[in-house]
């Protein structure tokens, strides 16, 4: 998919302040790379493709929510941890070693955070910021339902402990 290690996509986002422009550039670049990967692999990755395509959508949703004044400070800390998980190259399934498939743990982590944020944030706020197709709440439930198959039960269990 790429001649450059995947974690270099995040270089632009490292630092103290992520502007909307930088976040949107990241979103566009990663979406393009994942789409090229999915196009190249086709049937070989099957249903995993639809989940991979959610990765940039969930990232930008986390970023938009952390910048929304209607979201509590407590939830902003949680959302910030999700953004950090996307940005830092060392995670449970590192993209630098396994390629775009390594984004799946980022997706699952982000979705578990979104599910937690829904406890005290109006779903309309998430829907307002959701860049993907379909309903964000349905997407969250779909990813949670597929998490074990996508990344394995042990990694899902670790993610659940991290989000508590």
Q: What is the pLDDT of residue 14?
A: 44
Residue 60 pLDDT grade (very low, low, confident, very high; cuts 50, 70, 90): very high
33-37 own/partner pairs: CB under 8 Å, 24+ apart: 33/1, 33/2, 33/6, 33/9, 33/100, 34/1, 34/100, 34/103, 36/1, 37/1, 37/2, 37/99, 37/100
| pLDDT tens digit sequence for 94-125 | 676 777 888 899 999 999 999 999 999 999 99
| pLDDT of 20 over the 90 cut | no
CB 115 within 8 A of CB 108: no
CB 66 within 8 A of CB 83: yes
Phi, psi dihedral angles at 19 (to 5 degrees): -80, 165
Q: What is the pLDDT of residue 10?
A: 45
Longest Cα–Cα distance of the chain, Å, equals 43
Mean pLDDT of the chain: 85
3 state DSSP class of 75: helix
Give the residue carrying structure tokens 């630092």. 15
| pLDDT of 19 over the 50 cut | yes
Q: Look up the pTM and report it.
A: 0.84
Q: How many CA atoms lie within 13 A of 154 on its CB side?
A: 2
Angle in degrees, 0-180, between the axes of helices 55-66 and 20-41, rounded to the nearest 10? 170
């Amino acid at each position: 998919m790429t001649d450059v290690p995947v974690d270099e996509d995040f270089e632009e986002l490292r630092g103290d302040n992520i502007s909307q422009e930088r976040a949107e550039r990241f979103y566009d670049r990663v979406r393009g790379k994942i789409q090229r990967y999915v196009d190249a692999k086709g049937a070989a990755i099957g249903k995993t493709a639809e989940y991979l395509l959610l990765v940039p959508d969930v990232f930008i949703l986390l970023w938009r929510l952390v910048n929304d004044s209607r979201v509590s400070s407590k939830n902003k800390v949680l959302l910030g941890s999700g953004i950090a998980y996307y940005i830092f190259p060392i995670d449970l399934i590192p993209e630098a070693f396994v390629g775009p498939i390594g984004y799946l743990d980022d997706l699952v982590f982000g979705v578990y955070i979104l599910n937690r944020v829904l406890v005290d944030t109006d779903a309309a706020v998430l829907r307002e910021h959701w860049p993907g197709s379909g309903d964000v709440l349905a997407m969250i439930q779909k990813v949670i339902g597929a998490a074990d198959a996508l990344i394995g039960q042990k990694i899902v269990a670790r993610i659940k402990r991290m989000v508590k």
